[in-house]
Amino acid sequence: MPDTTTRERMISTAMTLFRREGYPATSWRRLVEEAGTPWGSAYHHFPGGKEQLGVAAIELGTELVAKTVRRAFERTETVEDAVRWWYRKAGQALAADGYRGGCPLATVSLEMANVSPTLTEACRTAFATWHRLLAGLIAGRGYDAERAEDLAFAAVELLEGALLLCRVRRSTAPLDRAATHFARLAREES
């Protein structure tokens, strides 16, 4: 079962709060209250302070999304179906959470880009990980390397834009449209 240790519960709760309201709005006090973890041991598990917790939460979010992507390509045959499956999964998660969630990185990325080089570097690494993973999986479906790179970019760009609009409109429609747009990009020859 997941999140058995105090440290793990803190990280996964931090990821949830970061994606819902962002980094500055997530205080240690709210975190330990939400996670039900001991307030006194925060700096025991994260001597680097809130920033270290932030990096850990970003890494967890990166891995969770990567897992979804891998699963999407396992259960589908074409690239457009894989992305559609991925986006649908993201939409379901978003709706099930009452449109409070979204990308685990987007909010922190935007907030901390000019403030914390450490967190920004973690976000940069995360996006690079996704991009590399996607490009590899797309290339594995028969696309040449350059085109796979390009489609991997499109998949991330469209997802991030769509998640933002879904959040604001409280609807998964933008994600559905984004999946269709991606399918068109993937199908077109030349």
Binding site for DNA (CB under 7 A): 6, 24, 26-30, 37-45, 49-51
Q: Alpha-carbon dihedral of residues 75, 79, 80, 82, nearest 10 degrees?
A: 30
Number of residues that bind a second copy (CB under 8 A): 42
Distances (CA, A) of 26 to 54, 74, 81, 132: 10, 35, 36, 30
Closest separation between CB of residue 41 and a second copy, Å?
A: 26
Rule CB under 8 A: say whether 124 interacts with a second copy. Answer: yes
Give the N- to C-terminal CA distance of the chain in Å, as an integer.
48
Our CB check for DNA shows the closer of 44 and 124 to be 44
3-state secondary structure of 98: coil
Interacting residue ranges for a second copy, rule: CB under 8 A:
20-22, 24-25, 99-100, 102, 106-107, 109-111, 113-115, 120, 123-124, 127, 150, 153-154, 156-162, 164-165, 167-169, 174, 177-178, 181, 184-185, 188
